Structure 1
């Protein structure tokens, strides 16, 4: 029996476990299906090139989507981190919060307490920014955020190319203005004994406190279902090796398995669309039709170029020599190009000047990244990605079967809303103009997949090659309306003692990368839970004192 049982040790679960266990009077149990997330591939930043395609299989769920009608019937790839740290183990480490208006829209949709003014303090609390503290940034938090002072020179060509096309430079995408082109900040240790290593959520929050007596972390624990009795979540059933186990929760179960697996676990527990559960023989505990609905993701289209310049990541004799040198430099000094995010610079741009905020994002990569690094090319080169920041398409997550070990059915329904194709086409045109700018003349080689010049040719190229850039959200939407899965305190409606805390609760996808927002959300909810517990104890103490006083006078 524990006070709190947390399902999933990813970006949200790591924060919750660390923050809740700061109170020595409560007990916390964290269940994680993967490992500890502290091996060499989890610490070397550039090892993401092996983690994302799934070469390190133990650290990646390696999901696939169902065939996508909008992408010529192709199955998309959905890499998700497996282990303490979750997808922060394998991501590009980019520290991006999104646009302030995104959070104000959440509040306008009925998510009270989630406006920009409400969430900014929790972003700052989580952050240890190398640039120091100011009105928008924090210092002293667990998550170290650094400048990329190791970037390749070609990034300056990208910034110059953006400038040549009329786009302003921006040295802080989390500053007063998001729009413009610049070098991303990264979640990487810049201070202390881990300097130069990836600052995953687990490395930032969890690894150093796992010896707390009131915190139990169980890895390799594959959750089967949440146990519900008389409308209350009382525990969790999970598989450890070949053994079925249960753990009890005295106060709350906190579900933090991510936008793809949180709805999966709810449905396995009998919470979700009744007709779908019944068709799989799962007893319905609570009908919540919106569980697994509202899936949103950033669809991404890439331009890839070979280059005569060899000062980039690549394949070949020279590239291997450079890699060995960089590996030794990182091993001995925690410096060098293995600190790279690969996506070193980028831009937030508007496809229409009249828009109130950027609607596309560019990631510029110092390598030929093709099909999630699953398709390799000899030589050196670079690539640029463009994604639609606020897609209109909505998809679903459903169960393939009642077997907890089966992967979920993931259907992002990419391009099901024609407005997304229109925006992505405009963004791809803007990206092509930037890549054709004179600033790239000395670097530019043949393009691997030229798309042609007409709209029809570009649309065909998008449908043939576009895929996720790893930001699924929305499948356990929060709100104040009757259909919302969780309320603004992230309590699941209809079940006592159960919250969902991860990207699945976002009502709308934010305009940027999602790791920093998830960490912020977990910080905010952990503080709320602790505040509620203090208030409960104060009420009980007051009631006890009043009762005692009454007995005395009687």
Structure 2
């Protein structure tokens, strides 16, 4: 199956390679690779308008618009001569053979478990059901089933990830596809006013691997302060010394800057399921060096890696990648699922409700791929790992939640808990600072060059996320702890490969999208993202009835005045960095966007930036808090052992249990939660070899 999927992608890429005015093998990697801009009435998001816009021709649209019908003899006559007129068919065929070998090698890296959806019958019985196959669900299904006495069923509402999701550079292409739940948050007047429909795109994975098949892959454990907070609210066995041991269980660190360090390597491990490595992006080296010089005046520097105690400055982040491919959670943990007789994975299987006898979970009802409602019984329990939206949604649908909400929807009460779905936290991200460059900071690649380098070398723009992996943590409020994170979304002049899907993911309205495309038509540019690590307000997740059951209603917390002040400080900080002598050779210029109904664009106007924050702030993919851990049910949804208050045999294990969002991407902290859950559940079930990592040891704890 993997070979077929990767073949389809290779065919599409080769269509561009062979059909973009490349007239010889010798010239195929040079300047003759063709991209175009034209006057049209269609934007990247196919919205009709009467203004002139740039039509973005991507490799995907080219391959879909051309009939793929290659005659090999004709191809050899057409491309089989070099610039001197010499017949070089053997050399050309060597290229095709090399690409084919690369295809086969890549296919061997992409393995997923067999789908047992239609093999599961009504009233079947298992020991444990895990709902959701994201970071936590994949890890738990794999590790719990390592105990052969436990029969485990993993339910996933989506299907296999699309092939494009495996390629790091195309990370945004999967957003808005069948891999995405396609949620949108309720509009809020304090942010997102210039997004399409004034609504934030809530990116959640609906596929094997969950959101790890769609995010930016970055792996960061967070700040020491994040773990100290957990201890401060009474979660004494959730501190850093316990977390470190759990992180090391799953990690396979490949980054030599870490593995060769005498001190830092003690806080990482090798041999686990999660391959962690640098993108090794040499293309961005020049501009990264300029940043290093520019930020030195702020007493900041660029470092090789972050740890929980040292998290200020800029870094080229490590990520969940392996051999030039994204390593989503399913690929990391479920590749050997087919060899386990006691683990079954069911795709296109949407959990509808938990089944109870009194207050004890006895099973799950789910809808399979052909629309049948199937009830599966459990002897030991159910683990919810459906994420910060899906987990509270299923609790509510099953009768666990606020009394007034359950009564309004006529859902029978199982356990009243006013905290279910509350405390939704996310990193608000301002995307309104656009920088254009007179001189290209990064080398430009043709599409054919990208494809060639990626397939044969697993490197180049498709093998990484560009400048987005270069990120900074800044303490603009000068209180000793970073409060904003800086991201970069870089686009070469007239970008037709990466920009279209990323603009769609940001969900800007037509006015903003067209301005950004116009800026990019003749200049390299970047969108500077400024994320709040700890927004003041929180939101909630509730449900409402639909014709087919229920759907989540997602409301983020409004931006507080303090949040706006922090963003304004960060904007001023970055403006000063950009005027540094280190950037003069690139000729950077902040281009303020014209926002409907707002003041005239002016980079020196606080009034303009306040208005821009209101209109061009969205929310990052990281979320937490909707099923928070607490010491009692008045403060949270689960106890320290991740058991849901008021019911038996029900655990929640995903980022929703984290009571305050970590100061970083959520994949690594969710691995910590999942490893903790694995130890807890095995210990409670009395599994052989269970060893909950709660005891003290002599290991160095000062990372």
Q: TM-score, normalised by structure 1?
A: 0.89
Is residue 434 from structure 1 mapped to residue 577 from structure 2 by the alignment?
A: yes
The equivalent residue for 2:373 is 244
Quick one: which of 42, 47, 59 aligns to 2:179? 59
The equivalent residue for 2:326 is 198
How is 1:231-380 mapped onto 2 (pairs within 5 angstroms)? Answer: 231-240=359-368, 241-302=370-431, 303-310=433-440, 322-342=446-466, 343-353=468-478, 355-367=479-491, 370=503, 372-374=505-507, 375=513, 377=517, 378-379=520-521, 380=524
The equivalent residue for 1:474 is 625
Asked whether the 8 Å contact 1:296–1:509 carries over to 2, the reply is yes
The equivalent residue for 2:189 is 69
5+ residue gaps, structure 2: 1-124, 492-498, 508-512, 594-600, 691-703
Q: Distance in 1 between matches of 2:482 and 2:222?
A: 10
Asked whether the 8 Å contact 2:168–2:325 carries over to 1, the reply is yes
Deviates more, 1:2-11 or 1:331-340: 331-340
The equivalent residue for 1:136 is 267
Q: Distance in 2 between matches of 1:381 and 1:105?
A: 39
The equivalent residue for 1:424 is 567
The equivalent residue for 1:393 is 537
Q: Distance in 2 between matches of 1:201 and 1:536?
A: 25
Asked whether the 8 Å contact 1:232–1:496 carries over to 2, the reply is yes
Deviates more, 1:325-334 or 1:230-239: 325-334
Number of paired residues?
A: 521
3-state SS of paired residue (1:409): strand
The CA deviation at 1:164 is: 4.2
The structure-2 alpha-carbon separation of the partners of 1:506 and 1:306, relative to structure 1 and needing over 3 Å to count, comes to same
The equivalent residue for 2:613 is 462
Q: Distance in 2 between matches of 1:123 and 1:492?
A: 24
Quick one: which of 179, 185, 197 aligns to 2:312? 179
3-state SS of paired residue (2:227): helix
For residues 319-346 of structure 1, give each alpha carbon's deviation from its aligned partner in whole angstroms, at most 9, with x where no partner exists: 7x62332123222332222111231201
Deviates more, 1:368-377 or 1:433-442: 368-377
For residues 466-512 of structure 1, give each alpha carbon's deviation from its aligned partner in whole angstroms, at most 9, with x where no partner exists: 00111111001111033110001110001100011011111101111
For residues 350-389 of structure 1, give each alpha carbon's deviation from its aligned partner in whole angstroms, at most 9, with x where no partner exists: 1133x23211111123336546355472443222211111
The equivalent residue for 2:130 is 6
The equivalent residue for 1:494 is 646
For residues 128-175 of structure 1, give each alpha carbon's deviation from its aligned partner in whole angstroms, at most 9, with x where no partner exists: 111327222121111111112124233333333323443222221236
Q: Distance in 1 between matches of 2:139 and 2:275?
A: 14
Asked whether the 8 Å contact 2:420–2:637 carries over to 1, the reply is yes
Asked whether the 8 Å contact 1:223–1:404 carries over to 2, the reply is no
The structure-2 alpha-carbon separation of the partners of 1:312 and 1:250, relative to structure 1 and needing over 3 Å to count, comes to farther
Q: Distance in 1 between matches of 2:290 and 2:221?
A: 25
The equivalent residue for 2:345 is 217
The equivalent residue for 1:384 is 528
Q: Distance in 2 between matches of 1:441 and 1:414?
A: 38
The CA deviation at 1:437 is: 2.7
The CA deviation at 1:423 is: 1.8
Q: Distance in 1 between matches of 2:637 and 2:687?
A: 26
Q: TM-score, normalised by structure 2?
A: 0.71
Q: Distance in 1 between matches of 2:211 and 2:179?
A: 9
For residues 509-535 of structure 1, give each alpha carbon's deviation from its aligned partner in whole angstroms, at most 9, with x where no partner exists: 111111111012101211222223236
Q: Distance in 1 between matches of 2:424 and 2:506?
A: 25
Q: Distance in 2 between matches of 1:323 and 1:310?
A: 17
Asked whether the 8 Å contact 2:147–2:688 carries over to 1, the reply is no
Q: Distance in 1 between matches of 2:188 and 2:590?
A: 30
Q: Distance in 2 between matches of 1:455 and 1:90?
A: 35
The structure-2 alpha-carbon separation of the partners of 1:140 and 1:537, relative to structure 1 and needing over 3 Å to count, comes to closer
Asked whether the 8 Å contact 1:268–1:402 carries over to 2, the reply is no
Is residue 516 from structure 1 mapped to residue 516 from structure 2 by the alignment?
A: no
The structure-2 alpha-carbon separation of the partners of 1:80 and 1:432, relative to structure 1 and needing over 3 Å to count, comes to farther
5+ residue gaps, structure 1: 190-194, 314-318, 539-554
Q: Distance in 1 between matches of 2:378 and 2:294?
A: 55
> RMSD value over aligned CA atoms?
2.2
3-state SS of paired residue (2:127): strand
Asked whether the 8 Å contact 2:192–2:199 carries over to 1, the reply is no
The CA deviation at 1:438 is: 2.9
Q: Distance in 1 between matches of 2:608 and 2:417?
A: 42
Asked whether the 8 Å contact 1:344–1:365 carries over to 2, the reply is no
Is residue 207 from structure 1 mapped to residue 335 from structure 2 by the alignment?
A: yes
Asked whether the 8 Å contact 2:425–2:660 carries over to 1, the reply is yes
3-state SS of paired residue (2:238): coil
